[in-house]
Structure 1
C-alpha cells in the first residue's frame, strides 16, 4: 500500500508529468484557464466581495464536496522557518490531525541555480468538503493588503505562501495566486470545458485569444 507521499508523487508523475507545481500554473500547462477576479476599484469592500464571489464560484464548479483532493501548502524557507500545524490554512480543515500531513522540501523550484531557493511543502489528502475553501480564498485575496483579515499569516506581513488544490478525482489543479486572478489546469480540455462555458466572461482578456483557440 502506498504512503500519501508516494500517492502524491505518483499522481503528479502520471497525470502532470510535464508540469512543475509552481506559479503561474496557466503558463506551465498545455490545458488551462486563467480567470480575472478583479471588478471595480481596488481595495474597496465591494471589490473584495466580487473577488471572492468569482473565486468561490469557480472553485465550486471545479470541486465537489466528495472529490478526493491533495491540498498543497508551499512556503519559502527562510532560515529555520517551517510549516507548523498551527498555521492558518490547516485551521481551515475540518477535524485535521497531524498524521494526515506529510512534509516535503523542494530545492530550486523557481531558480534551479539558486541553492537558497528552498520551499517547505505540506501535503494533505482529504475530501474537498472538509476544506473551508471560502475562507482560504479570502485569505489569499487579502495577502497583498496588510490591513485586511483573515490572512495567510497571523500578522500584517505579506505572505510567501502558495496554496494548490489538486483534484484527484477530476485530475485538475486550481491555484488562486492573489486578488487578481486564478488558474485552473487539467490533463485534458474536456475536463475544463464545463468551467469555461459557464464562466468564459471572466477569462482574463490578456489570455482570452489563446484560451478561446483551445475550445474552438
Structure 2
C-alpha cells in the first residue's frame, strides 16, 4: 500500500473514487434505457464499454495489478477469492496486504466485534484477465454468472503511470490518473459515455471537446 500512497496520495482507495480525486472520470456503463427487464442487453453494453475504455487506458501499461477489497470478520473467509480462479489467477499469486477495522459501532454492539476491510493484490500476468475481472465486477449485482459475490470488489492499477480503474457495478466505472493526459484522451474519445450528472465537473477539468 506504500506505493499506492506515493502515487495517489492515499493508502487505500476510498469509496466514491471519482469524488475523492481531482483528476477523475465517471462513465455510465449499463444505462440508456436498459433496466432490469433487459439484463442481458444491459450487461453486454456495460461490459463492452468497460472493455473498450480499459484497453485505451492501459494500452501503454507495462504492468497492471488487481487490488482486491472485501469485508468480513477479523479473519477473512477462505472462499472470498474463489471467482479469481476463473480469470486464471491462482491463490498463491494473490498477496494479502492488510485489514482495516471499520469501527462500526452498531455492528460491535450487536455482535461484539467489528467489521474489517481486507486488501489483497495480484499482478496480472495475462492482460486478457482485465476483461474477465471487469465481467465479474459488472455482474456482481445482476442475475449474471459468474460474478463477484459478497463484498468483493476490484481496482485495476498501473502504478508506474498513475492509473486506477474501478467498476462499482453495472451502472458505472470510475477512473483516476495522476497525469491528466490519459484522461483528456478518454474524455474526448468516449465523451458520450460519461455520466451526464457529473459531466459539468468533468468538462470544467478536461475541456469541451466532442466525440
TM-score, structure 2 length as denominator?
0.82
Tell me the secondary structure at the aligned position of residue 33 of structure 2: coil
Q: Give the distance between the partners of 1:15 and 1:79, measured in 2 at CA.
A: 28
Q: Give the distance between the partners of 1:192 and 1:65, measured in 2 at CA.
A: 14
Deviates more, 1:50-59 or 1:174-183: 50-59
Are residue 142 (structure 1) and residue 133 (structure 2) matched? no
In the TM superposition, what is the alpha-carbon distance from 1:14 to its structure 2 partner? Answer: 1.7
Query: Which residues of 2 match residues 23-34 of structure 1 at below 5 A?
Result: 23-34=15-26
TM-score, structure 1 length as denominator?
0.80
Q: Give the distance between the partners of 2:71 and 2:100, measured in 1 at CA.
A: 10
Are residue 106 (structure 1) and residue 99 (structure 2) matched? yes
Are residue 62 (structure 1) and residue 57 (structure 2) matched? yes
Do 1:35 and 1:181's aligned partners in 2 also have CA atoms closer than 8 Å? yes
Tell me the matched-pair count. 197
Query: Which residues of 2 match residues 16-27 of structure 1 at below 5 A?
Result: 16-18=8-10, 20-27=12-19
Cα shift readout 1:162-192 (whole Å, capped 9, x = no counterpart)? 1000112321100000000000001121231
Cα shift readout 1:88-138 (whole Å, capped 9, x = no counterpart)? 1243036x461x321022324xx56657241122111344x4442222222
Q: Give the distance between the partners of 1:97 and 1:79, measured in 2 at CA.
A: 20
In the TM superposition, what is the alpha-carbon distance from 1:67 to its structure 2 partner? Answer: 2.4
1:93/1:39 CA distance change after superposition, 3 Å = farther
**Match among 200, 203, 207 for residue 212 of structure 1:** 203
1:47/1:170 CA distance change after superposition, 3 Å = same
In the TM superposition, what is the alpha-carbon distance from 1:201 to its structure 2 partner? Answer: 1.0
Report runs of 4+ in structure 1 exceeding 6 Å deviation.
none
Are residue 87 (structure 1) and residue 82 (structure 2) matched? yes
Q: Could you tell me which runs of 5 or more consecutive residues in structure 2 were left unpaired when the two chains were aligned.
A: 106-112
**Match among 120, 123, 141 for residue 122 of structure 1:** 120
Partner of 1:176: 167
1:18/1:179 CA distance change after superposition, 3 Å = same
Kindly report the root-mean-square deviation, in angstroms, between the aligned alpha carbons of the 2 structures. 2.4
Are residue 42 (structure 1) and residue 35 (structure 2) matched? yes
Cα shift readout 1:38-66 (whole Å, capped 9, x = no counterpart)? 23221312121111111111111111385
